[in-house]
Amino acid sequence: MTKSRKSRKKDFEERIDRLFSDLDDCSKTVKTELGELSDIKGELSGIKKELERIKEMLTEEQKLSGGKLDEIGDAVEILEEEFEAKRKKVEARSTGKEEEYLTALKYQKAEFENYKRRAEKEKREFGDCRLEYFIQDLLPIKDALEIAIGHGKENENSEGLVKGVEISVKQINELLKREGLEEIKAEGEQFDPFRHEVVSKEIAKKHPENMVIEVMRKGYLFRGKVIRPAMVKIAIKE
């Protein structure tokens, strides 16, 4: 498995674990909320039943004494106070939850935007990785064609073949250049260990030390990244 695939696999595993953890936390919160709301619902049901009992009492009894009406008045007042307390409790919870939900929504929106950016980045990196491997596999074919051109030019009777191969190589070069491939400058350049690979050294008094005097195999950059260093011969002092 390539490094890119391992990185993507690890990222997916971490995101799945994070989702599991968030789901557990959310489930616990919902369970707690349902328990508390269930308690409030039970208390409201109790107030409702008591109000129905008092209303029934007022309907059935045609004549109520002053004392009885005072008791009913006190009971209604108590029920009003209890209901007002419960109503404020519900409204406070609703207001608090609304702010909490808005905060959570903003957080989720930011998380989603980050996820989209990561997904787009991974998509680009995956596409670049596949294209990079394709170009690496294509380069030896390009090398072989260029070598064929060199041999063909040495043979006077192969002008047509050389021309055909040159056209093919030109088309390949244009295609690769369009995708971001760039040949590494080597001959006449100072040796660069990040872009050049020394395969031969030669004593050369006419050239500065460590200058590339011959390219044994071309090197390439793909979108600024070295995908194949140039194999070179460099000058050394006697």
Task: Residue 200: name the closest of 184, 222, 216 by CA.
Answer: 216
What residues contact residue 216 under an 8 Å CB cut-off, 6+ apart? 199, 200, 231, 232, 233
Global pTM? 0.42
Q: Kindly tell me the burial class for residue 234, based on how many C-beta atoms sit within 10 Å of its own C-beta (0-12, 13-18, 19 or more).
A: buried
User: Can you give the pLDDT at residue 62?
Assistant: 60
User: Can you give the pLDDT at residue 191?
Assistant: 93
Q: Are 201 and 234 in contact (CB under 8 A)?
A: yes
What residues contact residue 225 under an 8 Å CB cut-off, 6+ apart? 132
User: Can you give the pLDDT at residue 6?
Assistant: 67
Phi, psi of 206, rounded to the nearest 5 degrees: -80, -10
User: Can you give the pLDDT at residue 197?
Assistant: 93
User: Can you give the pLDDT at residue 174?
Assistant: 84
DSSP secondary structure letters along 114-157: HHHHHHHHHHHHHHHHHHHHHHHHHHHHHHHHHHHHHHHHHSGG
What residues contact residue 184 under an 8 Å CB cut-off, 6+ apart? 195, 196, 218, 219, 220, 221, 226, 229, 230
Q: Are 192 and 175 in contact (CB under 8 A)?
A: no
Q: Among the CATH numbers 3.40.50.10210, 2.30.22.10, 3.40.30.10, 3.30.470.20, which is that of 181-238?
A: 2.30.22.10
pLDDT tens, the chain, 238 aa long: 555 666 766 776 777 777 767 767 767 766 777 777 787 788 888 878 888 887 877 776 566 677 777 777 777 788 788 878 877 777 766 665 666 667 777 777 788 788 788 878 877 777 777 778 878 878 887 887 888 778 777 777 777 777 777 887 888 888 888 888 899 999 999 999 999 999 999 988 888 899 999 999 999 998 888 989 999 999 998 7
